[in-house]
C-alpha cells in the first residue's frame, strides 16, 4: 500500500473537489427565483436525446454484436479493436468527420443529390443522435458481445442437436441473455448522454436542441448569469446522480473488456439468411465508424499545412493539460485503487465537468481571475473525470498485488517507499501505462470546461478546432482536427507502450 499520508491527501483532495464546487453551486443557486420555460425545454431535450441515443445504440448493437459473435473474417480483430477507439476519440474530431459524411455538403448529400433525394440535415436532434450513436454503438456492441461470448458453448451445441430454428434459438438462448445485458447497456449510455456537451454544442443548439449542459454554458458564456447556471447545474447534478446510481445497480463500468477476439461456436452459421444479414450489419457498421474517420484524415491532410501559429500554440496547451491531468489523476488513483477509493472516484461520473467548472469558477473568482486559470482548471477537471475509469483499470491488479505479496512485505518489514519503488509500481506498470494513456487521450480531446473559461490566448486544440469551425475555416479546422487525432492517439500509444515495455506482469 502506498504510504498512508498519500491516501489521506488523495482522498481529501478528491472529496474536496466534489464538496467544494457542489456547495458553491448550491449556495449560488439559492439566489435564483425559478426555472424558465427554456430551462424546462432543455431538461426535456436532455432526457429525450439521452433516451433515444440509448435506444438506438442498443437496438443497432444487438444484430451487430451477434454478427461479430458468430463470424470469423479477416479484419475482425481490427474491427473489434476499433469498437474501443471512440472512447479515446476527441468528440470534436468525430463531429467534423460526421459533418464531412452527413453534413450539408457532405459525402451522403453529394451522392443523393443526383437521385433527387431531399438534402439530409445534420443539425438538431437527429445530428445529436447520430453523433451519440457513433460514440455509443461501439460501447453497446462491446457490452452485448461480451454477453454473447459468455453464453456457454454447450447451449448452442444442445440447440444444434435439438434442431432448433432461428426463433426457438432466439427465445431460449439469445433473448434471456439480452434481457440481462441490454438494460445495463442502455443505462450506461443514457447516463453518458445526459451530460452531453460537446456534441450538443456543435450539432445541437437553438431553443429546440439544447441540453442542460449546453444551457449552463450559454448562461455563463453569453448572459454571464451565474445564478441561473448554478440552478441548471444543480438540476443536472440531481439528474446525473439519480441516473448514475440506477445505472450502477444494473451494470459495471466497461473499460478494458478482454477476450472479445473469440468466436461463439454455433451451428446456425451456415444459414444463408444469417450469412447475408451478418455481412450487411458488419459492413454497415464498419462503414459508419470508418467513413467519418477517413474523411477527417483526408480533409485534414490537405489542411494541416495551412495551420497558423495559434493552432500550434493551442496544441502545446493541450499537451501540457493532458500531461498535467495524467500526472494528477495517477497521483490520486494510486493510493485510491481500493474498494472505498473506487466509490469516491465514481463521483467523477456523477458530477458533470461543467457543474464542476461552474463551482470552481465561483470558488476561484473572489481570489483570482478564473479565465487566467483556465488551463489549470481544465487539467484538474479532466483528471477528476478520468478517475473512475483509471480506478476501474488499476484496482483489480493493485488488489491482487497487495493480496499476493502482503505477507512477504510484512515478513521483510518493507517500508512504504521500498514497497512502492520495488514491488507495487513495477508490478502495476502495464495497467498504469494503459490508464495513463487513456487519461492523456481523454484530456487531450476534451471540449468541456475549457469552453467555459478560455480566452483566445489559452485555447486548447479541441477549442481551437471548434473556433475554426465557427469561423467556417473548414480546411484549417480539418487540419487541426487531424493534428488533434494524431496527438490523442499518439499520447495513448506512448503511455500504453511505455507500460508494456519491460512490464513485470
Residues interacting with other proteins, by CB under 8 A?
404-405, 407-408, 410-415, 417-418, 421-423, 426-427, 504-505
Q: What are phi and psi of 22, to 5 degrees?
A: -65, -45
CB of 294 to other proteins, least distance (A): 42
Cell output for 145: 458481445
Rounded to whole angstroms, how far apart are CA atoms 211 and 126? 14
Q: What are phi and psi of 460, to 5 degrees?
A: -95, 175
Among residues 366 and 413, whose Cβ is nearest to other proteins? Answer: 413
CB of 338 to other proteins, least distance (A): 20
Among residues 154 and 410, whose Cβ is nearest to other proteins? Answer: 410
CB of 430 to other proteins, least distance (A): 11
Among residues 170 and 405, whose Cβ is nearest to other proteins? Answer: 405
Among residues 276 and 408, whose Cβ is nearest to other proteins? Answer: 408
CB of 403 to other proteins, least distance (A): 10
Q: Nearest-CA neighbor of 62 among 174, 151, 159, 213? A: 174
Burial class (CB in 10 A: 0-12, 13-18, 19+), 223: exposed
Cell output for 321: 493539460
Rounded to whole angstroms, how far apart are CA atoms 69 and 237? 38
Question: What torsion do the CA atoms of 251, 252, 257, 260 make, to the nearest 10 degrees?
Answer: -20
Among residues 119 and 404, whose Cβ is nearest to other proteins? Answer: 404
Q: Nearest-CA neighbor of 140 among 186, 79, 77? A: 186
CB of 424 to other proteins, least distance (A): 11
Among residues 245 and 412, whose Cβ is nearest to other proteins? Answer: 412
Q: In whole angstroms, what separates CA 60 from the centre of its chain?
A: 19
CB of 405 to other proteins, least distance (A): 7
Rounded to whole angstroms, how far apart are CA atoms 202 and 390? 28
Cell output for 354: 461543467
Cell output for 47: 432526457
CB of 494 to other proteins, least distance (A): 22
Among residues 385 and 428, whose Cβ is nearest to other proteins? Answer: 428
Among residues 249 and 407, whose Cβ is nearest to other proteins? Answer: 407
CB of 421 to other proteins, least distance (A): 6
Task: Let me know the angle formed at the C-alpha of 456 by 451 and 462, rounded to the nearest 5 degrees.
Answer: 45
| Collapsed DSSP state (helix, strand, coil) of residue 81 | helix
CB of 400 to other proteins, least distance (A): 12
Q: What is the full DSSP assignment across 342-411?
A: HHHHTHHHHS-HHHHHHHHHHHHTTTS-GGGGHHHHHHHHHHHHHHHHHHHHHHHHHHHHHHHHHHHHHH
Cell output for 365: 473568482
Rounded to whole angstroms, how far apart are CA atoms 485 and 488? 5
CB of 100 to other proteins, least distance (A): 47
Cell output for 289: 465508424
Rounded to whole angstroms, how far apart are CA atoms 183 and 252? 12
Among residues 115 and 411, whose Cβ is nearest to other proteins? Answer: 411
CB of 438 to other proteins, least distance (A): 23
Among residues 5 and 238, whose Cβ is nearest to other proteins? Answer: 5
Q: Nearest-CA neighbor of 81 among 97, 68, 63, 95? A: 68
Rounded to whole angstroms, how far apart are CA atoms 382 and 450? 10
Among residues 280 and 418, whose Cβ is nearest to other proteins? Answer: 418
Among residues 422 and 493, whose Cβ is nearest to other proteins? Answer: 422
CB of 409 to other proteins, least distance (A): 8
Rounded to whole angstroms, how far apart are CA atoms 460 and 455? 10
Number of neighbouring beta carbons within 10 Å of residue 420 = 19
The answer to whether the beta carbons of residues 145 and 93 sit under 8 Å apart is no
Amino acid at each position: 500500500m502506498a504510504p498512508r499520508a498519500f491516501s489521506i491527501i488523495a482522498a481529501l483532495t478528491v472529496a474536496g473537489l466534489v464538496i467544494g464546487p457542489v456547495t458553491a453551486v448550491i449556495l449560488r443557486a439559492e439566489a435564483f427565483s425559478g426555472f424558465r420555460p427554456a430551462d424546462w425545454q432543455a431538461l426535456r431535450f436532455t432526457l429525450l436525446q439521452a433516451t433515444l441515443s440509448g435506444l438506438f445504440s442498443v437496438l443497432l448493437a444487438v444484430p451487430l454484436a451477434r454478427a461479430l459473435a458468430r463470424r470469423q473474417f479477416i479484419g475482425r480483430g481490427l474491427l473489434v479493436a476499433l469498437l474501443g477507439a471512440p472512447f479515446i476519440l476527441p468528440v470534436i474530431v468525430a463531429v467534423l468527420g460526421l459533418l464531412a459524411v452527413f453534413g450539408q455538403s457532405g459525402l451522403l448529400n453529394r451522392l443523393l443529390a443526383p437521385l433527387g433525394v431531399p438534402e439530409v440535415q445534420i443539425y438538431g436532434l437527429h445530428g445529436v443522435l447520430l453523433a451519440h450513436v457513433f460514440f455509443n454503438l461501439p460501447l453497446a456492441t462491446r457490452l452485448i458481445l461480451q454477453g454473447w461470448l459468455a453464453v456457454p458453448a454447450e447451449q448452442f451445441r444442445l440447440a444444434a442437436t435439438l434442431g432448433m430454428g432461428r426463433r426457438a434459438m432466439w427465445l431460449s438462448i439469445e433473448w434471456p441473455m439480452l434481457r440481462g445485458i441490454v438494460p445495463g447497456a442502455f443505462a450506461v449510455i443514457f447516463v453518458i448522454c445526459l451530460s452531453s456537451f460537446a456534441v450538443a454544442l456543435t450539432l445541437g443548439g437553438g431553443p429546440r436542441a439544447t441540453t442542460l449542459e449546453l444551457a449552463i454554458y450559454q448562461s455563463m458564456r453569453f448572459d454571464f448569469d451565474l445564478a441561473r447556471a448554478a440552478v441548471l447545474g444543480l438540476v443536472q447534478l440531481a439528474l446525473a446522480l439519480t441516473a448514475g446510481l440506477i445505472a450502477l445497480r444494473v451494470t459495471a463500468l466497461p473499460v478494458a473488456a478482454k477476450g472479445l477476439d473469440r468466436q461463439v461456436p454455433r451451428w446456425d452459421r451456415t444459414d444463408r439468411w444469417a450469412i447475408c444479414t451478418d455481412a450487411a450489419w458488419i459492413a454497415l457498421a464498419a462503414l459508419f465508424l470508418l467513413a467519418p474517420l477517413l474523411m477527417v484524415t483526408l480533409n485534414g491532410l490537405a489542411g494541416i499545412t495551412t495551420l497558423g501559429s495559434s493552432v500550434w500554440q493551442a496544441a502545446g496547451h493541450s499537451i501540457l493539460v493532458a500531461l498535467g491531468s495524467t500526472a494528477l489523476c495517477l497521483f490520486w488513483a494510486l493510493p485510491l485503487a481500493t474498494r472505498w477509493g473506487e466509490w469516491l472516484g465514481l463521483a467523477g461520473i456523477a458530477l458533470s465537468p461543467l457543474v464542476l467548472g461552474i463551482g470552481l469558477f465561483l470558488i476561484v473568482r473572489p481570489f483570482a481571475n478564473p479565465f487566467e486559470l483556465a488551463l489549470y482548471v481544465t487539467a484538474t477537471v479532466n483528471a477528476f473525470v478520468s478517475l473512475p475509469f483509471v480506478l476501474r483499470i488499476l484496482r483489480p491488479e493493485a488488489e491482487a498485488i497487495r493480496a499476493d505479496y502482503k505477507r512477504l512485505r510484512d515478513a521483510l518489514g518493507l517500508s512504504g517507499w521500498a514497497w512502492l519503488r520495488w514491488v507495487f509500481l513495477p508490478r502495476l506498470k502495464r495497467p498504469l501505462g494503459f490508464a495513463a494513456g487513456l487519461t492523456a487521450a481523454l484530456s487531450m480531446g476534451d471540449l468541456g470546461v475549457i469552453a467555459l473559461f478560455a480566452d483566445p490566448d489559452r485555447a486548447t486544440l479541441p477549442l481551437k478546432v471548434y473556433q475554426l469551425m465557427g469561423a467556417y475555416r473548414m480546411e484549417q479546422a480539418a487540419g487541426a482536427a487531424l493534428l488533434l487525432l494524431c496527438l490523442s492517439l499518439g499520447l495513448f500509444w506512448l503511455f500504453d507502450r511505455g507500460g508494456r515495455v519491460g512490464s513485470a506482469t
